[in-house]
Chain A
Amino acid sequence: MSEKDMNDKVNEMLQRSEANVKKAEKSFIHPEDEEREVVAPDGSIIKVNPIYDYFSGEKPKEEKPCSGIIEKFLNWARAESIWVLGFGTGCGSIEIPPLVTPRFDMFRFGVQMRPTPRQSNAFIISGYLSVKTLKRVIRTYEQMPSPKYILALGSCTINGGMYYDSYSTINRLDKYIPVDVYIAGCMPRPEALLAGFTKLKELIKEGKGEKANEYARNFDEYKANQKKIIKDWNMPDYNW
């Protein structure tokens, strides 16, 4: 093979790989999630768009709090009944199981664990957050019913901590989702978590636990930040 032929071949391969990359950037949706037509058993044709069939793509709306004493009363109930989603995102989640043991016993503060985002109103981001997990965190956060609260655990969520220069983790959590309470430390002990819960309760009782509304208000800004870092955005803008 001559040198010219060789060059042509290499150029062709390069072009093909570039085209592949462009194609990959254009459609990163899994084949089974792509919009398509399906033939039903009776022969009729149904259009399916799995991503939007399963989730609502509607934007979140600001939900106005009730007025005066009613909201205060409800906030008291919300503060005394914090249901935490059982989703450990980083190494800090090892500090959560001791909270249910006799030594720390978070139940006496009205804090309980729930298995599903639908029933939880608090979400502990426990430690470093990789980009891959961030995507899951956003989906989960958006599925929680409002009003919802975020506790960010450990220094990784504040400034990246010891992973500040890692290629795969985020540095500041509140760029992507609104945070109510930061619990600093590496790792914070369970007592620090309990102190964080107490602080969160104070905030809710003062009527300052309105970060879900803040998220709805600055939705475009948050989405822009999220999409900047999550490259394979194969989900609707807002998942219920």
Chain B
Amino acid sequence: MTIYAKLGYTLLGLLIVLNWGFLMGATFRKIGARVAGRYGIPFYQPWLNLLKNISTRTTITHGVMYYIGPVFRLTGGIGLFLFMPMVFTGTVDGPWTNFSFEGDLILILYFQVFGMLGMALGAGQGGHPYSAMGIARGLAQHAAVELPLTLAFISIAIQFDTFSVYKIVAAQQGGIENWVLFTNPFAAATIILAMLGAMGHSPFNLVKAPNEILIGPATEFEGTYLGFMQSAGSILHVMEAVLFMNLVFGGASNWIELIVKTFLIYFWSVFVGMVFPRFKIEQSVTWFFKVPLLLGFLAIIIYSF
């Protein structure tokens, strides 16, 4: 496959991922509305919001980092996408594997933090004292989520003896019994629990609560910057679902399978959010350091011997 064909497929994949992210966001809002007994937003609302945001005529800026923050976040999302095999086609040189290579799992771990850092840098430049508070809480929770996630990732890497996401997907082919969900249940349980925090829905949605406490870093952004943030958020949500799908649920062999699986993974966090009210930050950090972290340690210990 030539590099140009690969680039074309990657760009097309990014477009699909962006739109699927918007649709997932809208469905999330719609389900929330139905649970509350409302009709809810139209499914095309996120696209309209994006258009509206990028068509504002006046925008203010708080300096260089304020520009770079959203770009940073978008880079995190796109970087996560670039090195993630989306659809398993039997060869790593295939059409939808993007630029997956040996060791991309480590790179993906870095890119996961990018989004939150982008927000932190951008909102920090805003100078609002409360945004620093919001970021501190967000990063505290993010660290608490990342620790068990990383342990589970390492456990899976030890299990298959590779840091390539593509090879991990390839090793899970041939039936549901080969999925990490069944071959490495402790790592799978860790990921399924830590995923709730990574997705950022209730009960772990402190940092994204601008309406209630007015300190989410996102309150600093407006217009085009907010549009960027929203697009990046959508891409990140899909990519995290794809990552967990690749690591635990056997990957996908076509786009339909990918959409169904990411939908179910994403809505696991949505439905939990519908049922449970928000945790305080200290409660959520303690929770992540209890159950998922212990499971992560178990997963590591079992596969180290």
A contact set with B: CB distance below 8 Å: 56, 60, 63, 73-74, 77-78, 80-81, 83, 86, 101-102, 105, 107-108, 110, 112-116, 118-119, 121, 145-147, 212, 240
Contact = CB atoms under 8 A, between A and B. Distances in A.
Contacts of B59: 145
A81 B56 contact: no
B48 A77 contact: yes
B223 A145 contact: yes
Interface of B: 29, 33, 36-42, 45, 48-49, 51-52, 55-60, 210-211, 214, 219-223, 226
Contacts of A110: 41-42, 45, 48
Q: Counting chain B CB atoms within 10 Å of each CB, which of A86, A119, A121 scores highest?
A: A119
Given A102-B36, A113-B211, A119-B222, A80 B41 contact: no
B51 A77 contact: yes
Nearest to A119: B222
Contacts of B211: 86, 113-115
Contacts of B33: 105, 107
B51 A115 contact: no
Contacts of B221: 118-119
Contacts of A116: 210, 214, 219, 222
Contact of B38 (A60, A74, A105, A121): A105
Contacts of A60: 58
Contacts of A145: 56-60, 222-223
Nearest to B59: A145
Contact of B55 (A74, A86, A113): A74
Nearest to B209: A115
B52 A78 contact: yes
Contacts of A119: 219, 221-222, 226
Nearest to B34: A102
A240 B210 CA distance: 20
6 contacts: A74-B52, A77-B51, A78-B55, A105-B39, A116-B214, A118-B219
Contacts of B37: 102
Contact of B41 (A63, A107, A118): A107
B58 A63 contact: yes
Given A102-B36, A102-B37, A115-B211, A81 B45 contact: yes
Given A108-B40, A110-B41, A119-B226, A81 B52 contact: yes
A141 to B, nearest CB: 12
Nearest to B33: A107
A114 B45 CA distance: 15
Nearest to B219: A116
Given A108-B41, A110-B41, A119-B226, 6 more contacts: A108-B42, A110-B42, A118-B60, A119-B219, A121-B52, A147-B57
Contacts of B29: 107
Nearest to B55: A74
Which 8 pairs, one residue from A and one from B, show the smallest C-beta to C-beta distance? A77-B51, A118-B222, A63-B57, A102-B37, A81-B52, A145-B56, A81-B48, A74-B55
